[in-house]
Amino acid sequence: MSESAAEPRPGLSVCVYCGSRSGASPAYAQAAVALGSQIGRRGWQLVYGGGNVGLMGIVADATMAAGGRTVGVIPKSLVSREVGHRGLHELHVVDTMHQRKQMMAERADVFVALPGGIGTLEELYEVWTWRQLGYHDRPIGLLNVGGYYDLLLGFMRHSLAQGFLNETQMDFVHVDDDPVALLEHLHRSATGALAPDDFTRI
């Protein structure tokens, strides 16, 4: 389904990276529901990988159930494996993963990573790297459900201590375990409404 030219633009377009599996803990699915519900209730738009399985399907269904718009982008090779979600407002089937990630980024005002595997990590690190290189200036958030990303964040602090990162690069990603607080921070950041003490260091 294509977006109508007469349809008003959502207040915020949130690109969510997350697993095509649900994970071992029910907390991950609960967080996906909470995040999607908050996006929908605020009248915002979800942009994600277009799947109907795992956390991907959960966050999309929760967004739509709460009244939000959904945009999925999925490569042809993954339509059957990730069961492309046919109930979205927009589902774009592209040729490659590169096209998928580019379109998702172009449609986003902010980025959020839920728990996920190597694909989620690759997407997170790509937009993080793009931010560091100045390709975009959009906020990035990490939803650290149940301490899922604690070890990763510890490694990033190790990289900082070893001189491969600096504090500015670390500050590009805002970490929270509360979906509401994370979205509020990203919204304030995207709209230029952050106070200096709103920035928390990884």
Is it the case that residue 198 has pLDDT exceeding 70? no
The chain-wide mean pLDDT, for the chain, equals 91
pTM recorded for the entire structure = 0.91
Q: Which domains does the chain have, with CATH numbers?
A: 13-192 (3.40.50.450)
Outline where the chain has alpha helix (H).
Answer: 26-41, 54-65, 97-106, 118-133, 150-161, 167-171, 179-190
| pLDDT at residue 93 is higher than 90 | yes
Give whole-number Cα distances, 83 to 118, 180, 186, in Å. 19, 29, 30
**Tokens read off for 171:** 């500050």
Q: Which pLDDT value is given to residue 83?
A: 84
Contacts 24+ apart (CB under 8 A), 150-153: 152/121, 153/202
